[in-house]
């Protein structure tokens, strides 16, 4: 019953957003007139560099690694799209990002039973009003017909990663995530969704928490990948 109510509310939210954002015929980045049903124009699309490389994210001694794929590199129009989604609540930007992520799923023939996402603290969620990873995950749910589950929680606030060294970023994130008691992931393949991959610390500790609680194969998918 509770799951059905939640799904109904999500569907209602999607309907409202589709009404709010329907009929806009200008590019969401440069505001030029569009001549298709896309949200960005061909000119802005040209600066999006597709990421075809697989990244292996591992711990310090390399004993455990997880595969990570990204829709594009974190530059040009893709950077603008992620900034607009994350800090300006541009949900149309999220749809464009998710399209590139879905292309990566198809190109790499990724297989999984469930989709989950990098969680936020309650304080950060309240401040922003939504979780961009969760938003992207729910778009991908519609594309892949795979269920989205919330199976991780963020139990401590962390410093902004900007300006921190690679080692400091890993120490900053360590111990931030806790597994929720959901038996669904036992021996299942899980796709973790996030917006950007930088050092990989956040994705790694999320994946590690799932692995330690019975998940089989864990794959990470981000909208973009930093070249740093």
Q: Where are the domains of the chain?
A: 48-225
Which pLDDT score is estimated for 10?
54
CATH number of 48-225: 3.40.50
- Cβ atoms 201, 165 nearer than 8 A: no
pLDDT attached to residue 192: 98
Among 9-13, 119-123, 196-200, whose mean pLDDT is lowest? 9-13
Q: What is the value of pTM for the model shown?
A: 0.86
64 CB contacts (<8 Å, ≥6 apart)?
58, 208, 211
Mean pLDDT of the chain: 87
Quickly count: other Cβ atoms within 10 Å of residue 134's Cβ. 18
Give 162's pLDDT tier (boundaries 50, 70, 90): low
What is the arithmetic mean of pLDDT over 11-39?
70
User: CA–CA separation, 46 vs 96, rounded Å?
Assistant: 13
The pLDDT confidence band at residue 88, using thresholds 50, 70 and 90, is very high
**Mean pLDDT, residues 4-28 taken together:** 57
Please give the residue that has the higher pLDDT: either 102 or 4. Answer: 102
79, 100 Cβ separation under 8 angstroms: no
- What residues does 65 pair with on adjacent strands? 58
Residue 15 pLDDT exceeds 60: no
Comparison of pLDDT for 190 and 5, the residue scoring more:
190
Give the lowest-confidence range in 10-24, 46-60, 69-83, 204-218: 10-24
Q: Find the range with the poorest average confidence among 83-92, 104-113, 177-186, 213-222.
A: 177-186
Q: How far is CA 62 from CA 54, 56, 111, 165, in A?
A: 16, 10, 24, 19
Confidence of residue 212 (pLDDT cuts 50, 70, 90): very high
């Amino acid at each position: 019953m509770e799951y059905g109510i939640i799904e109904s509310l999500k569907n209602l939210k999607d309907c409202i957003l589709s009404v709010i954002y329907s009929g806009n015929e200008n590019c969401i980045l440069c505001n030029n007139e569009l001549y298709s049903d896309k949200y960005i124009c061909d000119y802005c699309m040209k600066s999006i560099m597709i990421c075809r490389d697989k990244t292996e994210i591992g711990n310090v001694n390399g004993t455990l690694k997880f595969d990570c794929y990204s829709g594009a590199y974190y530059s040009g129009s893709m950077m603008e799209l992620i900034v607009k989604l994350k800090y300006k609540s541009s949900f149309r930007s999220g749809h464009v990002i998710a399209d590139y992520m879905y292309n990566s799923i198809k190109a790499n023939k990724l297989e999984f039973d469930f989709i989950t996402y990098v969680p936020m603290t309650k304080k950060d969620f309240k401040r922003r009003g939504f979780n961009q990873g969760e938003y992207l995950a729910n778009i991908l749910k519609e594309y892949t017909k795979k269920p989205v589950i919330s199976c991780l929680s963020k139990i401590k606030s962390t410093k902004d990663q900007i300006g921190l060294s690679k080692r400091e970023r890993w120490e900053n994130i360590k111990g931030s995530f806790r597994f929720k008691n959901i038996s669904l992931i036992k021996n299942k393949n899980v796709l973790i969704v996030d917006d950007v991959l930088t050092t990989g610390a956040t994705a790694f500790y999320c994946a590690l928490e799932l692995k330690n609680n019975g998940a089989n194969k864990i794959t990470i998918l981000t909208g973009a990948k930093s070249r740093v």
